[in-house]
Amino acid sequence: MIVKQKSIDKLKPIFKEYLNYMSQFFEIFDHTSWCEGALKNLQRYRAEEDRHIYVLMESESIIGFALVNKHLRFNNDGFAIAEFYIKKEYEKKGYGRRLAEHVFLQFTGNWEVAVSLKNNLAREFWKQVLSSYTNDKFIEKKKNSFNGYGFIFNNA
């Protein structure tokens, strides 16, 4: 089941797991400060209307999430998957695809998904999902100032 929510309290444990996973793709000098900054940013999803939290539930446990906002790196307007995570034991079972497609259906227009340069698994995941979802009507761009890739499409 996929649920939209404003509360971040139940999301914090899996978000911390996500941060630990993501830390392998960045040069982080102070892991504690980096995590604190990310958790502070997560608070904005509770307060700001243009930020959205979607959680994927299995047996009343959160097994994944998607954070959507309008902080864009590649488009001038639209929506972005800001953060996306599926617990390791649920990967490659269709949960990520289901969550991504559900989120895309919530808003029509321009979309982008940014992926860290070193996160090859995420890059391949998004290529597969977007290839299917858009019938190969997406663009992949590399942006050095971001140090990563962006996938851009429109679902209107």
pLDDT digits (tens, 9 = 90+) for 121-139: 999 999 999 999 999 999 9
| The amino acid at 130 | L
- Residue 156 to residue 147: CA distance in whole angstroms: 29
The CATH architecture annotation of domain 2-154 reads: 3-Layer(aba) Sandwich (3.40)
| The amino acid at 137 | K
Element (H, E) at 139: strand 139-143
The pTM of the full predicted model, rounded to 2 decimals, is 0.89
Helix (H, G, I), strand (E, B) or coil at 66: strand
Beta pairing class for 110-116 and 79-86:
parallel
Report, as an integer, the average pLDDT of 71-97.
Answer: 94
- Residue 102 class from Cβ within 10 Å (0-12 exposed, 13-18 middle, 19+ buried)? middle
Report, as an integer, the average pLDDT of 7-32.
Answer: 79
> Regarding predicted confidence, which is higher, 5 or 126?
126
- Residue 53 to residue 15: CA distance in whole angstroms: 12
Tell me how far apart the terminal alpha carbons of the chain are, to the nearest angstrom.
25
Lowest-confidence pick of 1-10, 79-88, 105-114? 1-10
pLDDT at 28: 67
pLDDT at 74 over 80: yes
| The pair of three-digit structure tokens given for residue 22, joined into one six-digit string | 């993501």
| The pair of three-digit structure tokens given for residue 90, joined into one six-digit string | 């649920």
